[in-house]
């Protein structure tokens, strides 16, 4: 699968119910990810870090994600499914794609079913990984849980519940809006009420000693939804389980904290090694965006230091918001511009156009350049010919213009974008002549 393509949603038949799932990568190992309370296999790719994390895991495994029955793109059902039914759904997916044996990663609420699946079918589970997991729901200890459920159902679809699982983003209006849409797409208020009430009764403590597959328990010390003590207790009750605790990060596995360390621990547990540690650089295909404020030196002199600094701060905040909205990674601010990367060229172009418009509205004309090619990831920075090419493309751009290389136009054909030919150019330090195009909507 190309780095620019998201996985296609397929369906496995589990009895009379269709279960939506996606796969990414082609082995040599297999990994099924059992979601937490809710999921939506397609919209989750809109969340920060999700797609990149799956691609990281797909470097060594065929990664399977799915929506539980009653949620996301799977068939809706009249009531919350039992753990046995959820296990049937996993077996149906395995049968559909021909998996005889797989590692299972259970996330939060999905940990209980994953534990039961591993204990029941040890011959089909190579490793069991539990992130932010628990054996008995923390809700079981709450006398007023039904009142809590009623309040959460009342707020379902508004994004207010983001403070429970991703508190670091609870003051980010765009992320709250995205989370609200995720809630609405993943489950109806009635369905989420059924799930919450059922989950309060989950208790797999009696079968923990029956888990005989290699088990890794991962938990973040700062998890505000599932207290870290529950992860420690879970690991202590599973024979031979390995426990790793991370000092920071929210409940969502891929959104914050030291995600690379966590994914590296998963890789090492499944494969016995960490490829990411064997090299100083990782090479991936990406679309690179450079922007630059036109005539910034003159503007700074005209405005004065204080006013210019305030305007730059607004520019930088706009850049962060727009790049995140288009699922990009803001690599760095360059003083009077930005460097960002994207795993999809269409989103990169739309981001550049949106950022140019927003910046122009605050009185800062921009020029932007984009190119798609192989880059080197060096810690938090990127390098390689593609990065230099994007900078050279930007240098040819006029004020309020987004220029792209021909490879970008070829990759976003029929994506609803328009391009105007800006001729063939020699780009400093790069061989040959380059066809450049101005992007528009």
Q: Residue 417: inside a domain, yes or no?
A: yes
pLDDT of 275: 67
291 and 226 belong to one structural domain: no
pLDDT of 401: 95
Alpha carbons 244 and 221: distance in angstroms, whole number: 10
DSSP state of 267: H
pLDDT of 4: 43
pLDDT of 281: 53
CATH code of residue 247: 3.40.50.1820
pLDDT of 159: 83
Q: Residue 435: inside a domain, yes or no?
A: yes
Domains held by the chain: number: 2
* 350, 416 Cβ separation under 8 angstroms: no
Residues 102-156 have pLDDT tens digits of 999 999 989 999 999 999 999 999 999 999 999 888 776 777 878 888 888 898 8
227 and 357 belong to one structural domain: no
Residue ranges for the chain with pLDDT beneath 70: 1-5, 140, 275-282, 414-415
133 and 161 belong to one structural domain: yes
Q: Residue 194: inside a domain, yes or no?
A: yes
Residues 275-323 have pLDDT tens digits of 644 444 567 889 999 999 988 878 878 888 888 888 888 999 999 999 9
431: containing domain = 282-440
Q: Which two tokens stand for residue 229?
A: 């003590």
387 and 289 belong to one structural domain: yes
Among 277, 302, 336, give the residue marking a domain's end: 277
Tell whether pTM > 0.75: no
Q: Residue 4: inside a domain, yes or no?
A: no
Q: Residue 2: inside a domain, yes or no?
A: no
Q: Do the strands 17-24 and 282-293 form a parallel or antiparallel pair, or are they unpaired?
A: unpaired
pLDDT of 424: 94
- Evaluated on CA atoms 233, 239, 240, 242, the torsion sign reads negative
């Amino acid at each position: 699968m190309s780095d620019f393509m998201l996985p296609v949603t397929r369906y496995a038949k589990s009895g009379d119910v269709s279960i939506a799932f996606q796969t990414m990568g082609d082995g040599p190992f297999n990994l099924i990810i059992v979601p937490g309370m809710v999921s939506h296999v397609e919209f989750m790719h809109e969340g920060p870090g999700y797609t990149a994390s799956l691609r990281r895991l797909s470097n060594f495994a065929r990664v399977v994600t799915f929506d539980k029955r009653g949620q996301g793109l799977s068939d809706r059902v009249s009531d919350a499914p039992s753990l046995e039914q959820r296990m049937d759904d996993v077996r149906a997916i395995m049968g559909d794609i021909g998996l005889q044996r797989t590692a299972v990663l259970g996330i939060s609420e999905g940990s209980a079913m994953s534990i039961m699946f591993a204990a029941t079918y040890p011959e089909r589970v190579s490793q069991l990984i539990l992130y932010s997991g628990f054996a008995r729901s923390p809700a079981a200890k709450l006398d007023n849980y039904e009142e809590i459920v009623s309040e959460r159902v009342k707020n379902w679809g508004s994004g207010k519940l983001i403070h429970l699982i991703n508190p670091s983003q609870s003051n980010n209006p765009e992320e709250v809006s995205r989370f609200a849409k995720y809630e609405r797409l993943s489950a109806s208020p009635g369905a989420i009420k059924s799930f919450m009430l059922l989950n309060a009764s989950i208790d797999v403590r009696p079968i923990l000693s029956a888990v005989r597959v290699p088990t890794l328990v991962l938990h973040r010390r700062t998890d505000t939804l599932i207290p870290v003590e529950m992860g420690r207790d879970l690991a202590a009750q599973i024979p031979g389980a390995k426990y790793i605790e991370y000092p920071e990060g929210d409940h969502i596995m891929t959104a914050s904290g030291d995600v690379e360390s966590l994914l590296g621990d998963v890789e090492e547990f499944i494969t016995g090694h960490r490829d990411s540690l064997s090299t100083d650089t990782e090479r991936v295909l990406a679309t690179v965006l450079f922007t630059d404020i036109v005539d910034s030196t003159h503007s700074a002199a005209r405005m004065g230091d204080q006013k210019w600094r305030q305007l730059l701060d607004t520019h930088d905040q706009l850049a962060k918001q727009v790049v995140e909205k288009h699922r990009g990674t803001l690599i760095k601010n360059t003083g009077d511009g930005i460097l960002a990367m994207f795993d999809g060229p269409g989103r990169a172009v739309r981001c550049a156009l949106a950022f140019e418009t927003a910046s122009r509205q605050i009185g800062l004309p921009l020029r932007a350049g984009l190119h798609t090619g192989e880059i080197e990831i060096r810690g938090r920075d990127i390098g390689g010919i593609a990065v230099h090419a994007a900078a050279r493309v930007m240098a040819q751009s006029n004020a309020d213009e987004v220029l792209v290389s021909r490879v970008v136009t070829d990759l976003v054909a029929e994506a609803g974008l328009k391009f105007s030919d800006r001729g063939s150019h020699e780009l400093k330090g790069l061989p040959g002549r380059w066809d450049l195009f101005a992007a528009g909507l």
